[in-house]
Structure 1
Amino acid sequence: MHLLLEGVADSSLGVALDVVSTASFLAEAGLAPLPRGTKALLQRVVSLDGQPVRSSAGRTIAVEGAFSLRGLRKGDVVILPGMFSASGRTVGQLLAREDARRAAGLLPEAAAKGVMLAASCSATFVLAASGLLDGLPATTTWWLVPEFAQRFPRVSLSADRMVVDAGDILTAGSALAHADLMLAIVARRLGPSVAHLVARYLVLDERPSQARYMVAEHLRVSDPALQAVERFILQNVGRQLSLDELSRVAALSPRTLARRVHASLGMTPHEFVQRIRVSRAVHLLETTRVSVEDIAARVGYADAAAFRRIFRRFTGESPRRRRAPA
């Protein structure tokens, strides 16, 4: 069941419908055999009150009815497609809306009935506002990571992940990560082979990380202590840095620094250092002809192979793929 709120991203809803429809078509055609006892997925598009909703592009989207807890059964899936939010201010406006507050209040009741819940982009904020993500891993759209971490410190935020599966709750990154979210749901319900075949038919790449899309400037923080740490890392990007050293720069204890970095950015201090190193490496790759080995050394990695592994982890691709054309 796709639960639409005002401002839903047209692309999120469209790709969700296509993924499920394609999975059902392939199963019915015998091209994607289902596990024994599994039924093809049925889908409905609903709003809270059964009335049409306005999309982020200003289009009126008709729905098939109103969201009802009474009709939900264990094993059903309720999906909140993302709404585009450009900043913390627009997220605040979203969470203050009556429909978002109502949805956040209804989701725990749905979860209590054994329903799987899923959300992408800024809809993850609505899911987090329900309290259901407290103590669980989750992700959100990459440019709102600091806002999410500050609003929901009890959520274990995995900022780099495209999709995070926390059992009966799944979250995904920005709007087009909704495709990845839907493939994950198909894999859970119909099996990985069906999800892989759907991805091939729709020419959807498997993208475990949204790190390659992150822009470092969007992740900068307003915390003066962390700004000092960031400057220090940039000034010393070519050498190893210890947590104690970073703590002295921030004038905080190591534990407090770790807590502040996670609250602001959803990552550890070590990941913060690595992200800045990788961002510097990307700049060098795109603006110079320096070898990958030399760039690795310039950003603090004596082992070029280790640099390549970390670079791929944070960007989803090899250093040579980011190399500027000759």
Structure 2
Amino acid sequence: MVIHLVLDGVAESSLGVGIDIISAAARRTSSGLAQVAGPAKLLRQRVVSLDGQPVRSGSGRTIAVDGALSLRGMGASDVLVVPGIFSVTEQSIESLLAQDSTKRAATALACAAAKGAMLAASCSATFMLGAAGVLDGKRATTTWWLGPEFARRFPAVSLDTDRMVVETARVLTAGSAFAHADLMLAVLARITTPSLAQLVARYLVVDNRPSQARYMVMEHLRVTDPALQKIERFITQHIDRQITLDELAQCASVSPRTLARRVHAGLGMTPNELVQRLRVAQAAHLLETSNASVEEVATRVGYADPAAFRRIFRRYTGASPRGRR
């Protein structure tokens, strides 16, 4: 069974698309449009709250539920899904994690994991999985603009904010609120078959979106650490040439090892990744605002090899340089 656990502030879009994807799969199989062995029980679903009472969505509307979350009888055939609560700032995450309901939800998630249930969460709800300890030693993703905060809070988690969905053995995480569609399709592929998930995606017109990178805004990732501000300015001023780690460390007046640690703590990435992101951000700006060729843009942001530039640009944006025009 798929169990959607909702808390106050839930993103209605996430909850709605999650319900619709499972419902669409159930309809496809019951009508004979998809042949999947024994999916009926797996495709049952419920919407629950911690106490069985309605919750208020992030838009202020009342969300009815089917009952209270119960861990009794939960096991390997169940999926506990937590839709995201839209959070824009680190302060909103701080407030979310300090709430009693969030702490109770994290405890419930840890108990469900111990019973063998599959866990899934998107957007800020991934922080609940982090707080529950079920991501320690595993890979995960979260909404891209909260990546640095996630990395600071949960250093035992290998964070990959470029990915839309990250799957481990029994835990799936996804990025921003609309990535909940990608998350639920991944869940569906796990509990039934990939072909059914692909069929539902086509019916609901959900494109394959493996990366969040194309949606990232570098300005949102800036931090107040003076050392990081210095190296960001240095990279921007010398973006047309190769920059070494030693140069960046000297600019920040720290050792290369200390710089790497502070960049990871502040931004959740390596110094080299920061350089690449700033180059790609500048390249995207030039492609959108000038008539410079792809080759000219590559040179202006420090790439002597246009082919290498194209590969890196696609890696971080999910699109080719020409597609960014």
**TM-score, length basis structure 2:** 0.96
**Cα drift, residue 38 of structure 1:** 4.9
Q: Distance in 1 between matches of 2:283 and 2:140?
A: 28
Equivalent of 1:309 in 311, 315, 319: 311
**Cα drift, residue 267 of structure 1:** 1.5
**Cα drift, residue 318 of structure 1:** 1.1
Q: Deviations over 1:202-233 (max 9, x none)?
A: 00011111111111111011111111111111
Q: Distance in 1 between matches of 2:167 and 2:214?
A: 20
Equivalent in the alignment of 2:173: 171
Gaps of 5+ in 2: none
Gaps of 5+ in 1: none
Equivalent of 2:197 in 195, 220, 223: 195
Q: Secondary structure at the match of 2:45?
A: coil
**Cα drift, residue 145 of structure 1:** 1.5
Q: Distance in 2 between matches of 1:139 and 1:222?
A: 23
Q: Distance in 1 between matches of 2:183 and 2:254?
A: 38
Q: Distance in 2 between matches of 1:63 and 1:46?
A: 5
Deviates more, 1:24-33 or 1:139-148: 24-33
Q: Distance in 2 between matches of 1:307 and 1:207?
A: 21
Equivalent in the alignment of 1:82: 84
Q: Distance in 2 between matches of 1:78 and 1:242?
A: 45
Q: Distance in 2 between matches of 1:75 and 1:237?
A: 52
Q: Distance in 2 between matches of 1:38 and 1:3?
A: 21
Equivalent in the alignment of 1:154: 156
Equivalent of 1:11 in 5, 13, 19: 13
**TM-score, length basis structure 1:** 0.96
Question: Over aligned residue pairs, what C-alpha RMSD do you find?
Answer: 1.3
Equivalent in the alignment of 1:237: 239
Q: Secondary structure at the match of 1:122?
A: helix
Percent identity between matched residues is: 66
**Cα drift, residue 197 of structure 1:** 1.0
**Cα drift, residue 151 of structure 1:** 1.8
Equivalent in the alignment of 2:112: 110
**Cα drift, residue 31 of structure 1:** 2.1
Amino acid at match of 1:195: A
Equivalent in the alignment of 1:269: 271
Equivalent of 2:287 in 276, 285, 288: 285
Q: Secondary structure at the match of 1:69?
A: coil
Q: Distance in 1 between matches of 2:4 and 2:261?
A: 36
Equivalent in the alignment of 2:74: 72
Q: Secondary structure at the match of 1:296?
A: helix
Q: Deviations over 1:229-273 (max 9, x none)?
A: 111111111111222222222222222222222222121211111
**Cα drift, residue 25 of structure 1:** 1.3
**Cα drift, residue 107 of structure 1:** 1.3
2:31 is equivalent to residue 29 of structure 1: yes
Amino acid at match of 1:135: G
Q: Deviations over 1:163-220 (max 9, x none)?
A: 1112211111110000000011011111211111111100001111111111111101
Q: Secondary structure at the match of 2:68?
A: coil
Equivalent in the alignment of 1:209: 211
